[in-house]
A = this chain, B = another copy of it.
């Protein structure tokens, strides 16, 4: 497999169109297995196919037929929109506005697309991900004005909403013998499915049809309900109390989405769900038990710094507060963090915090008062004080931080800290998080650790562990991306142990990613994400000995990526 650039495992679906089409067909044909009984929403993986788009063409741009335009639009959505934005205003990637594109001209554009750039643009030609013909098509397409995708309001959401098992038809007690706290919810990226894996027995409990390339799983406070969001905006609500856990409701909240969470504050447990969309740029508050949509809030607005109107401020990550009835909603392009008080949806209180642009992913500090979020293109971690409802600090870190939810430990020298790896370099930034008792270290990079490669996506530890696990899943080096670094938190001056997990699993091609602890904190689960038609695996490592404890291989485990342990996800243990 040639080197393949991905800005983020869960962000950029460099998905061959054929696969997307196959998936769409599969989703519709899939009526027998678990999760049957609902359709995968309107029109396949992107959520846009089959929907009439508004489009205009520009006589100054090279001509395209309607069919070409439509094909290019789909390719753009699948490969380009994640970084450049649907409206091409730029984010992780540069703005691609028609005027400039026309100035560059088809030949130059084809060179960019074929060979990529040092700035991070993938070489779609050299990696064989796009044919010459497709590159020619896309070079012409981006010289035309970007078609605006259709809106998706309450009418469309309600029409897409399917309550498959109403609340009163659900069990009143747990009907299975599973140890739910130690279930892992595993994204099967390229098949648009989810595997529930029993953390005790290491056996697959069931495979559920979901949205495409599920970005995250989140658990309700009770641990009973599991929520997933597909990159295509399809949300699944799964009831873990059923004899075999199954999807009890679905809804499409947009045509492009990344985030979901559920109310955790006392008195609101399980009651309210929230989903954030890339398109339309908005978030929606829903009934937590049924996914019935209640309130849609737009995020279109002004960038925090230059205060220019942005038509596409996408909702990146969302987390749920334990100390207030609030969701923390991160708006990428405008650089604003919204604290959304869900205690009264008719009179909605929000706090809009000026943070930093290009907000992406993040997690809580160990006290769960501070939320740390990466502003990746600004090499910054923004720290939000959710108790006071304001920005605590912007911390300069390395190149393109990508923490996932990050990792918290009590550092022997610096007190409580939180850490992030980076996409753009091989450093790991360790930030002091305790302004009360370690004021001199608070919101400063107190340590910089050396990862085994750049392109890190995820970092993880556990309160009961003395280890820190860091991947390099997007490293251009095959050996690096197959490996994981393990640091000894008691002796951080010592270099990490680098373990080639793919090799241990007997998989020659693949990326090792997303370390996740079991509930007890004595096992680390890793994904060996192989090619779609090749072999993948889940590898369970003993945290103490750092040896392989189990390798889970199964032909149903198609491209496993994110894994979410129920207990750790409910309680934000990381």
Contacts and interface: CB of A to CB of B under 8 A. Distances in A.
A245 B180 CA distance: 74
A389 interface: yes
Contacts of A347: 351-354, 389-391
Interface in A338-381: 344, 346-354
A53 interface: no
A307 B352 contact: no
Interface string A142-156: 000000000101110
Interface stretch (A76-84, A298-306, A515-523): A298-306
Nearest to A336: B348
A295 interface: yes
A307 B302 contact: no
A268 interface: no
A147 to B, nearest CB: 13
Nearest to A309: B151
A100 interface: no
Contacts of A301: 297-298, 300
A87 interface: no
B154 A307 contact: yes
A294 to B, nearest CB: 9
A389 B347 CA distance: 7
A154 B353 contact: no
A346 B307 CA distance: 12
B153 A309 contact: yes
A354 B354 CA distance: 25
A350 B154 CA distance: 23
Contacts of A153: 302, 306-309
A65 interface: no
A282 B300 CA distance: 11
Contacts of A309: 151, 153, 280, 282, 298
Given A346-B353, A389-B347, A389-B349, A302 B297 contact: yes
Interface residues of A, number: 31
Contacts of A498: none
Given A298-B301, A301-B298, A302-B296, A354 B346 contact: yes
A56 interface: yes
Interface in A455-503: none
A51 to B, nearest CB: 15
Interface string A299-340: 011100011110000000000000000000000000000000
Nearest to A157: B307
Nearest to A350: B350
Contacts of A346: 353-354, 390-391
A338 to B, nearest CB: 10
B350 A352 contact: yes
Contacts of A352: 297, 347-350
Given A298-B302, A300-B300, A309-B153, A350 B349 contact: yes
Contacts of A155: 306-308
Contacts of A151: 308-309
Contact of A296 (B280, B298, B307, B391): B307
Contacts of A391: 346-347
A352 B345 CA distance: 9
A282 B302 CA distance: 10
B300 A298 contact: yes
Contacts of A389: 347, 349
Contacts of A306: 153-155
Contacts of A296: 302, 307
Contacts of A307: 153-155, 295-296
Contacts of A354: 346-347
Contacts of A300: 298, 300-301
A350 B352 CA distance: 8
Contacts of A280: 309
Nearest to A56: B56
Nearest to A302: B296
Nearest to A294: B307
20 contacts: A153-B308, A153-B309, A154-B306, A154-B307, A154-B308, A155-B306, A155-B307, A280-B309, A296-B307, A297-B302, A297-B352, A346-B353, A346-B390, A346-B391, A347-B352, A347-B354, A347-B391, A349-B351, A349-B352, A350-B350
Given A154-B302, A298-B302, A349-B352, 17 more contacts: A56-B56, A153-B302, A153-B309, A154-B306, A155-B308, A282-B302, A295-B307, A297-B301, A298-B300, A298-B301, A300-B300, A344-B390, A346-B391, A347-B353, A347-B390, A350-B351, A350-B352
Closest 4 pairs between A and B when the two form their complex, measured CB to CB: A154-B307, A298-B301, A347-B390, A153-B308
